[in-house]
Amino acid sequence: MPQVASSVEQVPHSRIRELAEIAMSMQGVLRLYFGESNLPTPEFIKRAATEALADGYTFYTENAGLPSLRRAIAKKYAELQGVELDPGTEIVITASGVQALNVGIRAVLDPGDEALVLTPAWPNGSSNVAMANAVVHQIPHPLRGDRYGIDFDALEAAVTPRTRLLLYTSPSNPLGWVATDDEQQGLLDFARRHGLWLLADEVYDRLYYAGGSLGVPVPSILRKATRDDAVMVVQSFSKTYCMTGWRVGWLVARRDLAHKATQLNEFIISHAPSFAQKAAETALAHGEGELAGMLERLQQNRDLCLDALRGMPGITVPKPDGAFYLFPKIEGLTDSFGFCRKLLEECKVGLAPGVAFGAGGEGSVRICYAAEREILEPAMERLARFLNQRRAF
Ligand SMILES: Cc1ncc(COP(=O)(O)O)c(C=O)c1O
């Protein structure tokens, strides 16, 4: 009987999904397991999409996406990051951040190649390496005092002649860690020294609470890298503009890579939905006001959950500077999936198990705090009660 390819069989399933599927079959759950805001897409973006449909954005577009959207993205980089990009050759619109990860990774890895991935991290990066028939080496972020860092010695030790790629996420999902200037420089130097592609997942760059004022983005790696460096940046409209269901993102890359990714797009997705691309243009042009309001709420939510967690027994949780997650470490925990399942069944609180995020993730749980206070407050109370009556996991 024909079988599913063994290379596909070995791609692990998402343990966030596994937990979510149990939760979705239940009523009345306080859902904090997925990485998305409870807020709907702002009205002006929805209106832009219906106008785009009426205006005829129902046909195929270029594989690299609408030139007008690429120009709008280049303009935003110039304004926010002081980075000049050529919209014609260095930006590729994708049908989401995860598709940008997919096409970027696929374009640089041959079967049997190796990739270094800083973890705990959203599992899709490592899974995309596996889907390219390449080998993942996960390098955990060490917790030093009250801040996560990068283990450059472990990175050095993991390089082999087959290593081609280093993937990191800043701001991090699930840690909320944001790479410092020195850490970014260290990663870039490391990649240059070993002749590796450096792939920076920057989809949370606008969700930043330590930039002096809210709305200031995390400085992109593109500020440090030249356009001739082997650097790629993955981006998305999902998080900044509450557009998870729309599936629009982009890839910034060296010209030759961007050119190849554009070609590959033809065979994968052809391009992101035409009217969604048009609406994304409007999000970039007019989204700052809504974003500012969201950031204020997110920062309050972070602080509310952080205070609550720090009052719970056996919890260690650094203050995150970005994204919308907390990743508390629970003393003595060795089965985060079992913990989350019991918490779900007994208390109707849905969290993502740390084990889902790869090396360094077990022993923690991820809380997405992009929800209303009416959900977060009882969720924290129930978690505290659950921990107080804690059994062994
Ligand atoms: C780190 C990271 N990168 C990329 C994505 C992709 O987002 P999307 O595919 O919705 O654009 C996510 C979504 O959760 C994420 O957490």
Reported as a single tens digit per residue, the pLDDT across 186-204 is 999 999 999 999 999 999 9
How far apart are the C-alpha atoms of 214 and 237, rounded to whole Å? Answer: 18
Residues 6 or more apart whose CB falls under 8 angstroms from that of 33 comprise 16, 19, 20, 23, 340, 350, 351, 352, 366, 368
Q: Is residue 102 lining ligand 1, measured as CB closer than 6 Å? A: no
pLDDT at 79: 98
CA of 124 to the centre of ligand 1 (A): 8
Beta partners for 366? Answer: 352
**Cα separations (Å) of 319 from 125, 274, 292, 299, 302?**
24, 39, 21, 11, 9
CB 235 within 8 A of CB 284: no
Atom of ligand 1 nearest to the CA of 101: 4
Task: State the SS3 of 290-340.
Answer: HHHHHHHHHHHHHHHHHHHHHCCCCEECCCCCECCEECCEECCCCCHHHHH
pLDDT at 392: 59
Helix H or strand E encompassing 358: none
CB 33 within 8 A of CB 352: yes
Confidence class for position 390, pLDDT limits 50, 70, 90: confident
- Exposed / middle / buried, residue 151 (Cβ in 10 Å: 0-12, 13-18, 19+): middle
Residue 41: how many other CB atoms lie within 10 Å:
19
Reported as a single tens digit per residue, the pLDDT across 310-361 is 999 899 999 999 999 999 999 999 999 999 999 999 999 999 999 999 999 9
Query: Taking 90 as the threshold, does the pLDDT of residue 391 lie above it?
Result: no
Mean pLDDT of 162-178: 98
Atom of ligand 1 nearest to the CA of 244: 10
DSSP 207-225: -BSSSSSTTPPPPPGGGTS
Reported as a single tens digit per residue, the pLDDT across 361-377 is 999 999 999 999 999 99
How far apart are the C-alpha atoms of 87 and 107, rounded to whole Å? Answer: 20
| Residue listed under structure tokens 């190649």 | 113
* Lookup: tokens for 91: 């930006």
Confidence class for position 278, pLDDT limits 50, 70, 90: very high
The residue length of the chain stands at: 393
Atom of ligand 1 nearest to the CA of 249: 11
Residue 308 phi, psi dihedral angles, 5° rounding: -65, -45
3-state helix, strand, coil split of the chain in percent (to 5) is 45, 15, 40
pLDDT above 90 coverage of the chain, percent? 94
Query: Taking 70 as the threshold, does the pLDDT of residue 236 lie above it?
Result: yes
Mean pLDDT of 30-52: 96
Residues 6 or more apart whose CB falls under 8 angstroms from that of 118 comprise 138, 139, 140, 141, 150, 166, 167, 168, 169
Mean pLDDT of 87-100: 98
Task: State the SS3 of 252-275.
Answer: EECHHHHHHHHHHHHHHCCCCCHH
How far apart are the C-alpha atoms of 368 and 348, rounded to whole Å? Answer: 15
pLDDT at 7: 84
Atom of ligand 1 nearest to the CA of 34: 14
- Who has greater pLDDT, 105 or 9? 105
CA of 86 to the centre of ligand 1 (A): 24
Task: Give this prediction's pTM.
Answer: 0.97
Ligand 1: residue of 98, 175, 207, 218 to mutate (most ligand atoms within 8 A of CB) is 98
CB 138 within 8 A of CB 123: no
Beta partners for 208? Answer: 322
- Considering the chain, what is the average pLDDT of its residues? 96
